[in-house]
């Protein structure tokens, strides 16, 4: 088994290794260098907590590294993150300026080049009952962003309605099952056009409140979301949908993690204006959403025409079913490519 740093050819894994490891200090970078290309292909999160083991997780499960870079499940053998490790990582992630990313810290995360999202934890500085920033940072989660081109290939035939229309679609799953990855590829393909389905490209507006769909860095998408796509980064969903509707005339609006009443009200405004919706929501099934009052109302009004239900099966991106929003009957069961 070759360490990824020993590979000379350019692969998605080696490019990712170069992209990610520059945000970690030398000691942790050296440990991550001991991972194989297969480890990097499966890696989803790198977690640092001051005084506790360096944790990695992904399709291969959760594990730690010894100070020699050997995989272990024993916390007693694991490399422990020092206060200096944490300080240096924060400096690299923020460009040595917490002030420059204060607006992002208010949301609890920073997006770095490559579209990767770094969640931060520490002491909240509160002003007027609202979080102004974070300080004394002691926890960090580096969540790796990936494009999976073709992730939507097998569900698109169920979601496209004619050459210039798509069904209002809600992607449902528990966390880390690939909702955002699937949504991103839907946006890309609907924006570019899908020749095999005779589908012309449409103007898509993305409200990326958590900077995960397009992975914008300084306003520029780091992920391919299509040539006819406009992105409102770090903008509240409800407000962003109205802004896009008023100013950019989208045929489709896409957003992540709906669940608040104002989100649903904004969705209704979009539909009244003739705009199609692509969105995601947390839930294990369609029935699970009925237990949440706001989403129960959405389902009851038959606003959603298609549900795509994902599950984690040997990794994210497995489609359990595509469900019709009128009859609530399954239309098909497929598996997304990874």
**Mind listing the pLDDT tens digit of every residue in the chain (338 residues)?**
555 655 556 777 788 888 899 999 999 999 998 898 888 888 999 999 999 999 999 888 899 999 998 999 999 999 999 999 999 999 999 887 776 677 778 888 999 999 999 999 999 888 888 888 888 999 999 999 888 899 999 999 999 998 999 999 999 998 888 899 999 999 999 999 999 999 999 999 999 998 999 999 888 999 999 999 999 998 999 999 999 999 999 999 999 999 899 999 999 999 999 999 999 999 989 999 988 888 888 888 888 999 999 987 766 778 999 999 989 999 865 544 44
List C-alpha distances in Å: 6 to 38, 243, 286: 13, 48, 46
Phi-psi region of 96 (alpha: psi -120 to 50; beta: other; left: phi over 0): left
The reply to whether 178 and 310 lie within a common domain is yes
The reply to whether 166 and 122 lie within a common domain is no
The reply to whether 52 and 122 lie within a common domain is yes
The reply to whether 276 and 322 lie within a common domain is yes
- Residue 86 forms part of a structural domain: yes
Tracing tokens 């229309």 back to the chain, one arrives at: 165
- Residue 218 forms part of a structural domain: yes
- Residue 43 forms part of a structural domain: yes
The reply to whether 182 and 109 lie within a common domain is no
List C-alpha distances in Å: 8 to 18, 180, 216: 12, 31, 29
The reply to whether 209 and 236 lie within a common domain is yes
* Count of all residues that appear for the chain in the document: 338
Domain count, the chain: 2
The reply to whether 94 and 175 lie within a common domain is no
Global pTM? 0.84
The reply to whether 185 and 70 lie within a common domain is no
Contact present, 105 and 120 (Cβ < 8 Å): yes
- Residue 274 forms part of a structural domain: yes
- Residue 338 forms part of a structural domain: no
The reply to whether 122 and 175 lie within a common domain is no
The reply to whether 171 and 314 lie within a common domain is yes
Domain that holds residue 239: 156-332
């Amino acid at each position: 088994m070759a360490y990824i740093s020993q590979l000379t050819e350019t692969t998605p894994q080696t490019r990712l290794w170069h992209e990610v490891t520059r945000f970690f200090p030398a000691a942790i970078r050296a440990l991550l260098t001991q991972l194989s290309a297969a480890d990097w292909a499966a890696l989803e999160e790198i977690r640092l907590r001051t005084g506790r083991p360096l944790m990695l997780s992904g399709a291969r499960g959760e594990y730690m590294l010894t100070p020699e870079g050997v995989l272990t499940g024993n916390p007693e053998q694991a490399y422990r993150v020092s206060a200096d490790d944490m300080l240096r990582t924060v400096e690299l992630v923020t460009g040595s300026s917490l002030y420059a990313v204060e607006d992002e810290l208010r949301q609890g995360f920073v997006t770095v080049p490559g579209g990767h999202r770094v969640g931060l934890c520490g002491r909240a500085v509160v002003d007027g009952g609202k979080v102004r920033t974070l300080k004394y940072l002691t926890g960090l989660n580096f969540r790796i962003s990936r494009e999976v081109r073709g992730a939507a290939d097998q569900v698109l035939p169920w979601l496209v309605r004619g050459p210039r229309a798509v069904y209002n679609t809600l992607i449902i799953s528990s966390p880390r099952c690939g909702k955002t990855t699937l949504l991103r590829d839907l946006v890309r393909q609907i924006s570019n056009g899908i020749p095999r389905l005779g589908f012309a490209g449409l103007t898509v507006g993305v409200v990326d409140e958590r900077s995960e769909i397009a992975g914008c860095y300084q306003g520029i998408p780091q992920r391919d979301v299509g040539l006819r796509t406009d992105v409102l980064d770090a903008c509240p969903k409800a407000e962003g949908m109205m802004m896009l509707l008023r100013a950019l005339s989208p045929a489709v609006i896409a957003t992540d993690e709906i669940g608040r009443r104002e989100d649903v009200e904004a969705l209704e405004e979009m539909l009244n204006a003739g705009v199609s919706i692509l969105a995601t929501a947390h839930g294990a099934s369609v029935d699970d959403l009925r237990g949440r009052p706001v989403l129960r109302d959405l389902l009851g009004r038959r606003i959603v025409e298609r549900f795509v239900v994902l599950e984690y099966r040997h990794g994210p991106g497995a489609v359990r079913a595509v469900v019709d929003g009128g009859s609530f009957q399954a239309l098909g069961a497929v598996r997304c490519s990874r």
